[in-house]
Amino acid sequence: MRRNPRASKYISGDSFGGETRAVYIPSMRIIPFVFVLSLPVAGLAAMPAFHFQPMPVEPGDPRETLSAVDVDGDGDLDFYSGMYGKAHWFENQGDGAWRRHAISDSSDTDVGAAAADIDGDGRIDRVAGSFWYRNPGAGGGAWTTHRYGEARYVHDLLVADMDADGRPDVVTLLPREIVWFKNPSNPLDTAQWEKNIIVYGEEYATHHGGIAVGDLDGDGDPDVSRLDCWFENPGSGAGTWTRRPGPDFGRDGPWGLTGKALILDMDGDGANDLLQAECDIGNGRVAWFRNLDGKGLTWRPHLFKDSTEGHDFHSLVVADFDGDGDPDVLSIGGSNGSGAPKVFIWERLDPKGEQWNEHLILEGVKGHEAVAGDYDGDGDVDILSKSWGDSFHYLLVNQRIPSSLARAKPPGRAAYQPAASIWRPRFRSGRGWVDPLGRIEPGAGESVNAILRSF
């Protein structure tokens, strides 16, 4: 058994690049592949235990992309997984079993993929590399492949409604440029997809990954961030984007600056902030940056994890894991880390995000592109992850609400609707507050109990 003296850690203050004030709390032993929750401490909310559940993905079949989505519309959460060449989806059969279905043998990327209803038929499609793959629906049938543009070998690919027309567009980081592709009235016609340049002329080797979409200047339209800066939307997504100073996070690795990033309101002040993690290096960090002026011009860093433990943080998720109504942050050490891989959740303790409690959930299992969702239908948030370069997938099943994966499917639900919150960026529009795919969400300045059809 390996004793870990830092299974639970209280973090206070906003120091960055130096000492972070911390008081270490005694913890129980952490055993690889077994979850042991640290002892509860007065003043700190207890983080639930998680059950480790390997997934039945075929050996020798590498999977590099991951999306959590209700593929067949039956009310429970399935997932997409793919690599360069092959893509599949895995059907949640509700009894602890998963059934594998083929999507395509022609994917031209290894990491860059997303899920969204591209053609507006109510079914969640898959976007990966240069293509989108049309979901045939619950009746089955062949998935059809449609090119939307040139995005081969991309690391980052996002979907968001960039021009407020109600259709999800595609945003990606290409060699020498960041671009978005406008989803046309007929997305089956490749010629109708329009490429819009956000920034051009910067080397791919310098900026490999770490873009995010969200409103950083408070004007209601989606901007695009990179690890070192962000780009202001000219208003309709078309035209000249203005480069603005950002936190200047990230450090060079084998593929240049690479990270995971989210734009969302971390402190409840109504202004979106930046959350970033460094990956594809051996000594990554995780931090969030407070948008002090609400315009994205002044930032205050808050460090979750420094570089001393040797982690490659290739996962970044914000969700309410402990059910207390506020956002928690998850990241997992990946394949390029110099230290033992670990799963961390940082629990928010105060409304402004000044104080966090670090929980070490698991040690000894690598993570890559983790996603969150309610896989067993019990109302709390579980975690789906995998390692890089092989077929090993696993679930971390949240035990806050006791349940089992071997339960029947919930009857009569047309769409997957978890009780727990998954935090996502939002934008103002003429229809009110909307999510990245243009869906209406209530409550300005509040996080939403999202309908998690895709994320």
**Structure tokens given for 8:** 């639970």
Q: Identify the pLDDT of residue 418.
A: 38
* Residue 97: strand pairing partners: none
Q: How far is CA 132 from CA 42, 161, 170, in A?
A: 50, 16, 10
Angle, vertex CA 283, rays to CA 336 and CA 202, nearest 5: 80
**Structure tokens given for 422:** 């998954």
**Structure tokens given for 302:** 């808050």
State pTM to two decimals: 0.81
Q: How far is CA 31 from CA 350, 360, 382, 435, in A?
A: 30, 11, 20, 39
Q: Identify the pLDDT of residue 62.
A: 60
**Structure tokens given for 72:** 């067949």
User: In whole angstroms, what is the distance from residue 322 CA to residue 50 CA?
Assistant: 11
Between residues 88 and 117, which one has the greater pLDDT?
A: 117
Q: How far is CA 281 from CA 88, 209, 253, 334, in A?
A: 29, 12, 5, 9
Q: Do 347 and 330 touch, CB atoms closer than 8 A?
A: no
Q: Identify the pLDDT of residue 243.
A: 94
Q: Identify the pLDDT of residue 425.
A: 52
Work out the average pLDDT over 306-313: 83
Work out the average pLDDT over 296-320: 89
Place of tokens 């998963």: 98
Confidence of residue 424 (pLDDT cuts 50, 70, 90): low
- Which of these ranges, 151-160, 163-172, 180-189, has the smallest mean pLDDT? 151-160
Q: How far apart are the first and last CA of the chain?
A: 37
- Which of these ranges, 91-100, 216-225, 354-363, 393-402, has the smallest mean pLDDT? 91-100
Q: Using one digit for the tens of pLDDT, what is the confidence trace for 142-158?
A: 999 999 998 888 888 99
DSSP state of 47: P
Q: Do 296 and 290 touch, CB atoms closer than 8 A?
A: no
User: In whole angstroms, what is the distance from residue 191 CA to residue 184 CA?
Assistant: 9
Confidence of residue 433 (pLDDT cuts 50, 70, 90): very low
